[in-house]
Amino acid sequence: MIATAPPTTGFSQEVFDAFLADRDEPGWLTDRRVAAWKQFNNLGMPSNRDEEWMRTDIRLFHFDRFTPFADIKTPAELPSALLAVGVELAGHSSSLDSLSLSAELSEVWAKRGVLFGSLDALVKAHGDLLRPYIERQLIDPNQDKFSALNAALWSGANLLFVPKGVKVTDPFHSFSVLSSGGVDLGKTLVILEQGAEATLLTETASTDPDAGGMHCGSIELIVEKEARLRYVNLQNWGSGVWHFAHQMGHVGANAGLQWTIGALGSRLAKVNQHVALVGQDSEAQVNGVMFTHGKQHLCYNTHQHHKAPYCRSDLLYKSALQDKSRTVWRGMIKVDEKAQRTDAYQRNDNLMLSTTARADSIPGLEIEADDVRCTHGSTSGRVDDHQLFYAMTRGYTRQEAVRMIVTGFFQQVFDRIPIESVRDALGEAIGRRVRDIEQ
């Protein structure tokens, strides 16, 4: 029938006002939230006539079926985090349904001026420091209803700030959890000042692998000149979760960003992942690992924007699809007129593990400089029968053979990830999900 859950007050004015009253934030931040809230209410749902939304039907998504900041009891046991197993961390934080649960930062780094933990708390204590970065507004709240909502209501958010010249050797880890039917409005803000270095691992999960819920999030990565950031984001929401995110990285002169995403969960994902090379001689490597099953629909729009000369970007997205799932990858490389001597690459490979899966691959190039080297490539196909046969003659079962072949498929991306715990976690998570392919 039409609605199984009774309509709730959802994202109402009362909810927003109560939220603000509770925050006690600096005035400039409150003003930003209020303006974004107004936008959220003014904007309609995205139209299926927009290029961005044409392949991703969200008519079954209803804001009024979710209640943010609902009272829930913290479960006795949270799901286990995957990425930081056996790793010595510089800091760790966690949240549940957009409320901060914990935040720890090792003394060694705190003493050197590093800030890590809940942005909600840290923006109050370090408002003056953080304000110019937040005001840089890497993500425009007015872009669509989802960016506006996140700009108005972000909470349970993560901050990593590394001051000039500080090179943090151990990784940071942050874990966001959603209860069944819960709402996560998280935000990740990373600021690396000149010459800083750090590694941040973030992951998401639901309390139940089949849980429903909603995530409307944002990620802003500011990598100033000569700084280096390695950022890993593993999306592992329950298979009923609606996942909307706007993600943006700015890379300054001579700086480097390595950004790896793993996309395993959610019912429907619509993620914009943009990287802008704003300073000369900067580089960005973007790696994507997607593994879908059931009726999942994952749509990832990536963007490599070369605004300065002598920069290099390299994107590799690999998807394996099972059952009736569907992936849509739209990638654009945009090279401005003054971005001469650009090297930009983009590649998307799709491995189809069933006859009912569907992969849409839409690479793109918009080039306005002439002294450039830009290529993109895309392949789609199935598991090679010869490889399968060979493995089975060596005594592996069909399922084991498929698992090995799928792992082999992703190897090229894994080889680009220097963090062992991440490689292992991704490899294992994928391995567990591989079932037998159809005969």
Binding site for another protein (CB under 8 A): 1-2, 48, 51, 54-55, 57, 59-60, 337, 340, 350, 352-382
Q: Which is nearer to another protein, 151 or 339 (CB)?
A: 339
- Report helix, strand or coil for 383: coil
User: From the CB of 376, what's the least distance to another protein, in Å?
Assistant: 5
Is the distance from CB of 39 to CB of 149 less than 8 angstroms? no
What does DSSP say about strands 240-251 and 268-277: parallel, antiparallel, or unpaired?
parallel
Task: Count Cβ atoms within 10 A of the Cβ of residue 407 and give its class: 0-12 exposed, 13-18 middle, 19 or more buried.
Answer: middle
Q: Which is nearer to another protein, 171 or 240 (CB)?
A: 240
Q: Which is nearer to another protein, 2 or 76 (CB)?
A: 2
What does DSSP say about strands 197-206 and 365-367: parallel, antiparallel, or unpaired?
unpaired
User: From the CB of 248, what's the least distance to another protein, in Å?
Assistant: 22
Q: Which is nearer to another protein, 191 or 372 (CB)?
A: 372
Q: Which is nearer to another protein, 252 or 363 (CB)?
A: 363
User: From the CB of 47, what's the least distance to another protein, in Å?
Assistant: 11
User: From the CB of 288, what's the least distance to another protein, in Å?
Assistant: 16
User: From the CB of 386, what's the least distance to another protein, in Å?
Assistant: 14
- Report helix, strand or coil for 313: strand
User: From the CB of 382, what's the least distance to another protein, in Å?
Assistant: 4
How many angstroms separate the CA atoms of 387 and 403, rounded?
12
How many angstroms separate the CA atoms of 104 and 121, rounded?
13
User: From the CB of 58, what's the least distance to another protein, in Å?
Assistant: 10
- The DSSP code for 317 is E
User: From the CB of 270, what's the least distance to another protein, in Å?
Assistant: 15
Q: Which is nearer to another protein, 21 or 60 (CB)?
A: 60
Tokens at 393, concatenated: 């003659």
Is the distance from CB of 84 to CB of 201 less than 8 angstroms? yes
How many angstroms separate the CA atoms of 371 and 6, rounded?
59
Burial track 416-438 (b if 16+ CB lie within 10 A, e otherwise): ebebebbbebbbebbeeebeebe
Q: Which is nearer to another protein, 208 or 360 (CB)?
A: 360
Is the distance from CB of 66 to CB of 87 less than 8 angstroms? no
Q: Which is nearer to another protein, 255 or 352 (CB)?
A: 352
How many angstroms separate the CA atoms of 217 and 126, rounded?
22
How many angstroms separate the CA atoms of 343 and 24, rounded?
47
